A and B are shown apart, each in its own frame.
Chain A
Amino acid sequence: MNKPSLAIAGLTACSGCQLTLLNCEGELQEILERFQVAYFPMGQSDPDRQARYDLALVEGAVSTPGDLATLFHFRNASRLLVAFGTCALFGGIAAQHNRTTPRPKLLEAVYGNGESRPESFPPAPFKNFVSVDAGITGCPPEKGELLQLLGAVLAGTLPAFPHYPVCLECRSRETLCLLLERNQLCLGPVIQAGCNARCPATGIPCEGCRGPVAEANVAQELELLLERGFSREEIERRMSRFTVEWDYGQRR
């Protein structure tokens, strides 16, 4: 069998998604054996920019003209483009102020008005610019889901990730519900599971790092939290930490 060629790249991000690949210590050697690594500057010199890729894992949000060019390059050069991580899927941590503060203001706060101010626009997810074939959510993504994706691609298909909220995994682990029992600002009911409720399982409310679950009842979550005394402003701030594009009236 031909080895599928693999590209791993990053846009505006913390490199956590790429690091997640390197964190698959037990499987990394097998991965490197089964794929032909064509582009992976973080781990391999002389990346091949001319190649065509069977699979491109691209992390990060799109926030500069350079990012956009890179994204288009990988879209055009790849059979399967995977939005790798929450930033790529939802904009992520860097996009949290998109709705509240204009970009130039943010830039000015860091770089002043000098010439060294980099060109940049509000960080946006891939789907605003190109079509993607699959996504792995999470900030950082789960190793297990990355491995599932790689296995599925080798098998000629894409992984079947579940689409339900964090609460299911949280309950199944028999942990205390922080929303009901501790009146904490837990976003579990509206967030995509797959992390096995990492945070609630350690006693920390879900901060929503995996983005919205399909057809979330956002309006009801909002009501639940308002009832518990959180201000609308605080709730929205928390919800927008990883995803700005919430429809707070959605009940679907």
Chain B
Amino acid sequence: MGSVVEVNPLSRVEGHGSVKVYLEGGRAERVELCLTESPRLFEALLRGRSYAEVPEIVCRICSLCSTVHKVAALRAVEDAFKLTVSRTTQLTRELILHGGQLQSHALHLYCLLLPDLLEVKGVADLAREAPDLLKTGLKLKQVGNLIQEELGGRLIHPVNITLGGLGRRTSRDTLQRLADGIEEILPSCLQALQLFRRSLPFPPLPTPHYLALATAPHSFTGEEFQLDALPGMPVSRYREVVSEWTVPHSHAKSARVAGMVPTVGALARLNLSQAALPGEEPLREALVEVQGQDIRANALAQAIELCRSALAARLLVEELLEHDPADTGRPPHLTPAAGSGTAAYEAPRGVLIHSYSFDASGSCTAADVITPTSLNHLALEENLWALAQALDGSEPALLTGSLERLVRCFDPCISCAVHLVQL
């Protein structure tokens, strides 16, 4: 007789999901990852909405990555209208994305993942058992959020970054405060490298096919994808390489890229990009350590990116402070025209693609959003399967506990995974 072992709900991940392991005579037969978040049908919400509304609505796909969703959507719309933005706007967007990455990685590492390393159940236990570590993590998160709130005007679903520009340019005083905040957390960022070097006690997992964007240093966007050693694929032709389909047991879609099962996120980025920032010598050892690793090294990769984001944010603040005061970032007046545009960004969890088409009145006729979690979906299932097999015959509690930890390594963002948008 077959039986099912279930992890439901998956905890300490963002959104609702569960894992089912089907056992046959005590052996793992099949693993299913069910992302059960209630769908909000964003595609239908976007149909007929004006180009100006699309980014405002679509950023609500997910709170954790609302900033990068917003920026990606803005870029995609701007691409459709062949609009370029001023340097102030560019810098502000880059800086706020680093804020977003800081906050997201700090949250994931210190609130969601750290309990696994310390063998406790969660953030409430951390407050009791490791208050100082939690405090450090929260401080990192706070500085990330400070950047997001000051630049975005609102912490989640930022308002100040808008189509073609900014509501208003960030003041010097504010930037100065951000610089102070960043300076304060740099040492803690470096400590995170030590803390998250510890790997989970799992048997080795499949070696991933890394997928990331080719980006300039401290940028989150690029024109080409890189998939392992494959030659660059232009973002504008992403449809030719990404194939997506729905699976019966889950509300999310799964994707393959160029026929392969991709892994996106911090680990993939660090394996594919060599762009170094000034001042990042202390990261070198850790950078070497994550090369060619399986997903267990994603935590260390995130810790490295935590440092990188702090360093990059410091540089960006300086550049913004010095940049031409006449460039206010005021958005230009837009006249809608028919067109399509695509933009790809590196969200904290990996590659994110937004693509839209508009008719002559600027009304949205087609929308497509591919989220990092759908790109990771198959890899996650493969890893779960591998782990379930390796742990064959173990206690169900050990099995489910390990599977859940594995899910967390991917830092999945379930709410975004099920809000795929395609018209």
Contacts and interface: CB of A to CB of B under 8 A. Distances in A.
Contact between A and B in the complex (any CB pair below 8 Å): yes
Interface of A: 10-17, 19-20, 22-23, 25-26, 28-29, 32-33, 37, 40-47, 60, 63-64, 66-67, 93-94, 96-97, 101, 105-107, 109-112, 114-116, 118, 120, 123, 139-140, 143, 195, 198-199, 201-204, 207, 209, 234, 237-238, 241
Interface string B109-132: 001100100000111110110010
Given A33-B127, A46-B121, A110-B44, A201 B153 contact: yes
Q: Chain B, interface size: which category?
A: 35 or more
Contacts of A64: 38
Interface in B364-423: 404, 415, 420-423
A44 B121 contact: yes
A110 B39 contact: yes
Interface stretch (B49-57, B82-90, B338-346): B49-57
Contact of B63 (A14, A40, A67, A237): A14
Interface string B333-353: 000000000000000000000
B43 A109 contact: yes
Given A15-B14, A15-B15, 7 more contacts: A14-B63, A14-B66, A28-B127, A44-B123, A115-B248, A199-B167, A237-B50
Which of B38, B107, B156, B160 is the most central at the interface, judged by chain A CB atoms within 10 Å of its CB?
B38
Contacts of A238: 53
- A-side binding surface: helix, strand, loop or mixed? loop
Nearest to B62: A14
Contacts of B66: 14, 16
Contacts of A116: 246-248, 250-251
B63 A22 contact: no
25 contacts: A16-B66, A16-B156, A19-B63, A22-B111, A23-B155, A26-B138, A28-B123, A29-B131, A32-B128, A37-B124, A43-B111, A44-B11, A44-B12, A44-B122, A44-B124, A94-B45, A96-B57, A97-B44, A106-B41, A110-B43, A110-B421, A114-B248, A143-B155, A203-B167, A207-B56
Contacts of B63: 14-17, 19, 140
A96 B167 contact: no
Interface of B: 9-16, 36-41, 43-45, 47, 49-50, 53, 56-57, 60-64, 66, 103, 107, 111-112, 115, 121-125, 127-128, 131, 134-135, 138-139, 141-142, 145, 153-157, 159-160, 162, 167-168, 246-248, 250-251, 404, 415, 420-423
